[in-house]
Chain A
Amino acid sequence: MKNKASEKRIQKLLEKLAENPKDTETQLDLGKAYFLSSRFDEAVKCYHDLLEQEPQNASAYYNLAVAFLAQKKNLEAKEALQKVLELDPNNKTAQNELAKLVSFP
């Protein structure tokens, strides 16, 4: 049931994006929708597309980092979190995630 709803939402967002491919807000929403459906590769691609248009979008970098974390791509996640903090140095969530990522174990 939940899967169907997620797929429906993804379809809707894809249609919306087809109408306006430069709509970064929809790109971000689509990335999150893919993420929620565990389609992490597609989420990552979505955030990358968004960042090509808006390289200063800290939220896209943050969501990209979490998608990388879900794929256990810690190095990429770390780079994305560092980018968030370059753009938004006071972002507490990113600060915490980065500290968690580099601390041992």
Chain B
Amino acid sequence: MGLGKMADKFPRQFAVIGAGRFGSSVAMTLSKNGCEVTVVDHDKDSIQKISEYVSNAVQLDATDEKALKSIGIEDVDVAIVSIGEQMEASILVTMALKQMAIKMVVAKAVTESHGKILARVGADKVVFPERDMGVRLANALLHPSLLEHVEVSPGYNMAEFEAPKVLWHKSIAESAVRVKHGVQIVALKRCKPGLNKEGESVLEEDVDLIPSAETVVNKGDMILVIGKEENVRKFRSLK
């Protein structure tokens, strides 16, 4: 099952095993979005640090199945195993969580073979944060204006980048984006100047989802575009 499909069912209860940088970041983001998050780590300091951001932070050895059960881990919708560096432990914990019939177990891998083992022991999704970040960084260095690039399905991409000059000061209809370029603008993001409480300058982000044909694109606007891979690539390269 892909993470996208899973999101449709609105999982609310999460467990994050391992409160390192990756695990903490996942836990805090879920928590910020209103999810109930339990974080488990054997390190007292890590637990103390994360405890103010999540609903529950417990210091225990995650390879101890009984200890995991004692905190009701079986009831979560999704468990994220983010102890990739300790390969043996991550495999054992992933296996144990799947045996407890947790619906979705996401595990962090540090190498390809680690990922293969995690998949074999039942992980529903394996993530390679370092590898994926490397790919994203390389893409960002090659295409500095490209913020995000996602394959929607084979041959179809969604990409976020700065609006090319040909679109500036024209409405989407005038630019005939779909007809001329074979892509669809699905969101437009622009920063509005403002002042904060202290009277200092701030840029407030304004997102226009599914902008209408009359929407005028300005210099500096960011656009989220969907279309065939080749069309998106060509459109992105426009000056």
With A70-B220, A105-B136 in contact, is A62–B148 under 8 Å at CB?
no
Q: How large is the interface on B (under 10, 10 to 19, 20 to 34, 35 or more residues)?
A: 10 to 19
- Distance between Cα atoms of A30 and B200 in the complex (Å): 13
Nearest-CB distance from B21 to chain A (Å)?
Answer: 13
Contact of B200 among A63, A70, A71, A104 (CB under 8 A): A63
Chain B residues whose CB sits within 8 angstroms of the CB of A67 once the complex forms: 201
User: Is A72's CB within 8 Å of the partner chain B?
Assistant: yes
Q: Is the CB of B140 within 8 A of A32?
A: no
Over the window 205-225 of chain B, the binary record of Cβ atoms lying under 8 Å from chain A Cβ atoms (1 yes, 0 no) is 000000000000000100000
Q: Is the CB of B200 within 8 A of A66?
A: yes
Main secondary structure of the interface of A (DSSP, over half): helix
User: Is A99's CB within 8 Å of the partner chain B?
Assistant: no
Question: Closest residue of chain B to A39, judged by CB?
Answer: B193
Nearest-CB distance from B17 to chain A (Å)?
Answer: 26
With A69-B203, A93-B200, A104-B140 in contact, is A36–B220 under 8 Å at CB?
no
- Distance between Cα atoms of A84 and B33 in the complex (Å): 33
User: Is A38's CB within 8 Å of the partner chain B?
Assistant: yes
User: Is B137's CB within 8 Å of the partner chain A?
Assistant: yes
Chain A residues whose CB sits within 8 angstroms of the CB of B133 once the complex forms: 104
Question: Closest residue of chain B to A47, judged by CB?
Answer: B201
Size of the chain A interface, CB-CB below 8 angstroms: 17
- Distance between Cα atoms of A92 and B203 in the complex (Å): 16
Shortest 4 CB-CB distances between A and B: which pairs?
A66-B201, A63-B201, A35-B193, A35-B201
Chain B residues whose CB sits within 8 angstroms of the CB of A70 once the complex forms: 191, 193, 203, 220
- Distance between Cα atoms of A104 and B196 in the complex (Å): 25
- Distance between Cα atoms of A32 and B193 in the complex (Å): 9
User: Is B72's CB within 8 Å of the partner chain A?
Assistant: no
Q: Is the CB of A32 within 8 A of B220?
A: no
Question: Closest residue of chain A to B146, judged by CB?
Answer: A105
User: Is B147's CB within 8 Å of the partner chain A?
Assistant: yes
Nearest-CB distance from B64 to chain A (Å)?
Answer: 36
- Distance between Cα atoms of A77 and B199 in the complex (Å): 19
User: Is A82's CB within 8 Å of the partner chain B?
Assistant: no
User: Is A26's CB within 8 Å of the partner chain B?
Assistant: no
Q: Is the CB of B195 within 8 A of A32?
A: yes
Contact of B137 among A71, A72, A93, A104 (CB under 8 A): A104
Tell me the A42-100 residues at the B interface (CB within 8 Å).
59, 62-63, 66-67, 69-72, 93
Q: Is the CB of B202 within 8 A of A66?
A: yes
Contact of A36 among B140, B191, B194, B198 (CB under 8 A): B194
User: Is B41's CB within 8 Å of the partner chain A?
Assistant: no
Q: Is the CB of B147 within 8 A of A36?
A: no
